[in-house]
Amino acid sequence: MKPAYPFPKPFVWGVAMAATQIEGAATKDGKGESIWDRMGATPGKIHNHDTPAVACDHYHRYKSDFALMKKLGVKNYRLSIAWPRIYPQGRGAVNQKGVDFYHRLIDSMLEHGITPWVTMFHWDLPQALEDEGGWRVRGVTEAFSTYADTIVRAYGDRVKNWITLNEIICFTKMGYGGGDKAPNTNEGDRVVNQTYHHAVLCHGLGVRAVREYGGRGARVGLTDNSNITIPLMETPQDIAAAKQAFVQENTRILEPIYRGRYTTEYLRSAGANRPTWEKGDFDLISLPTDFLGMNIYTGFYVRAGRRNAPEIVPLTPNYPRADAPWLYLVPEAMYWGPRWVNEIYGVKSIYITENGAGYDDEPPVKGELFDIHRRNYVRTCLKELHRAVTDKVPVKGYFLWSFMDNFEWQDGYSRRFGVVYNDFTTQRRTPKLSAHWYQKVMKENRLI
């Protein structure tokens, strides 16, 4: 029998997590306060008054966590470095104890046969920088540049895969434009457009850091959670409409990065709220990268409307979703997202840096937890990804979010994305069905 859904070789299989969501030790060894620590300390901002102060206590338990990864066959792990551990005030004096922690962490990963994929910034802006204006002000880009240079110089001998920023939209629009992410303010389009500009500029500065200090074989890219548009029907008209909508939907990030400009359409529609920039910004922002990371959970349907103009088709209230209410189950996003960035921007190397499903799992019974719903959604997503690679879309790898249940930002600890269950009282980890299943997928390089 021919194996079903074989993936090309080599294909990078891995898991992903991020510093704030797992480390805990929020004030240990000189770590500074982040905007998420501040949000956790502000009553009413986070579900169930949860805070990231302890999380999975990974700061103290990383060795046993890596041992468990190894046992489950994980060979690639996407992690992030906490900026406020390295620069507690965001800039100024380096915190050597924070630098040393990641030396130990990276060495331990390598000892367990796990390759690091390091995200420089996964939302934990030092609160001191937020107090100076945060992503609103250009000063953040200078501070980021120094931070990026510092970590690439420190870890570049062992880390060869770098991701500059994670999900720009979540710390710009959803942080300053009325969303539920830190710093949780609502300041309007002028501010939001400027935060986007500073973010894409930081991406460019991160790329420059890797080129200058990354050493031989270093690679770098952005992780974007592009809005994924899906043709309602796979007719030429709907496909063309969805493609056009993809460009419009992601114009603030992908156009400057891949085309070194903002479109006149965007600038015209932004009007007086357009961002300001300085000479040379776009050269930095559009520095060539080695891959694009895509976080894909969901998407939305588009059809050709009047005069073939793209028209978003609303989902009905009973459309199926995970327990995470934003997570409409739209697996086709895994096919169309990579296809669009390849067709539109000529991206030659794509990694799915996150995909998974958030469900409020009940605790394991006798050491077992049958999260068939999560496993089935991930499996269906992977079928769509397989369709993409079959159509020669250059997808080179896939990271499942998440290895273990963790601090799900404003939703706290009840919203679980892990394939390993974490009991947050005892810190006991229990692999779920999805972990055992994914172990086989990684090992056999095909769907099971």
**Nearer residue to ligand NOJ within complex by CB, 150 or 166:** 166
Q: Is residue 255 at the binding interface for ligand NOJ, with CB under 6 A as the rule?
A: no
Q: Is residue 34 at the binding interface for ligand NOJ, with CB under 6 A as the rule?
A: no
**Nearer residue to ligand NOJ within complex by CB, 79 or 154:** 79
Q: Is residue 23 at the binding interface for ligand NOJ, with CB under 6 A as the rule?
A: no
Minimum CB–partner distance for residue 124 and ligand NOJ (Å): 10
Minimum CB–partner distance for residue 298 and ligand NOJ (Å): 10
Edge-to-edge order in the sheet of strand 229-231: 229-231, 300-304, 310-312
Q: Comparing C-alpha atoms, which of 207, 120, 112, 116 is closest to residue 157? A: 116
C-alpha gyration radius of the chain: 21
Cβ contacts of residue 196 below 8 Å, gap of 6+? 168, 172, 173, 252, 253, 275
Minimum CB–partner distance for residue 58 and ligand NOJ (Å): 14
Residue 423: phi and psi, rounded to 5, are -85, 110
Annotate each residue in 164-183 with x if it binds ligand NOJ (CB under 6 A) or - if it does not, as one string: --xx----------------
Is-catalytic flag, 167?
Answer: yes
Is-catalytic flag, 354?
Answer: yes
Q: Is residue 408 at the binding interface for ligand NOJ, with CB under 6 A as the rule?
A: yes
Q: Is residue 422 at the binding interface for ligand NOJ, with CB under 6 A as the rule?
A: no
Restricted to residues 262-301, the positions that interact with ligand NOJ (CB under 6 A) are 295
Alpha-helix residue ranges (DSSP H) falling in 48-95: 58-71, 83-86
| Residue of 130, 167, 384, 408 with catalytic role | 167
Minimum CB–partner distance for residue 301 and ligand NOJ (Å): 21
322: phi > 0 → left, psi -120 to 50 → alpha, else beta; which? Answer: beta
**Nearer residue to ligand NOJ within complex by CB, 229 or 295:** 295
Minimum CB–partner distance for residue 142 and ligand NOJ (Å): 25
Restricted to residues 194-253, the positions that interact with ligand NOJ (CB under 6 A) are none
**Nearer residue to ligand NOJ within complex by CB, 21 or 226:** 21
Count of other CB atoms within 10 angstroms of residue 448: 16
Cβ contacts of residue 120 below 8 Å, gap of 6+? 80, 81, 83, 144, 147, 148, 151, 162, 163, 164, 165, 206
DSSP state of 271: G
Residue-wise burial string across 361-384, b where 16 or more C-beta atoms lie within 10 A, e elsewhere: beebeeeebebeebbebbbebbbb
**Nearer residue to ligand NOJ within complex by CB, 166 or 342:** 166
Binding ligand NOJ (rule: CB under 6 A), the pick from 401, 403, 413, 438 is: 401
Q: How many residues does the chain have?
A: 448
Q: Which two tokens stand for residue 192?
A: 């939001």
* Residues assigned a catalytic role: 167, 354
- Give the interface with ligand NOJ as residue ranges (CB under 6 A): 18, 21, 166-167, 295, 354, 401, 408, 417
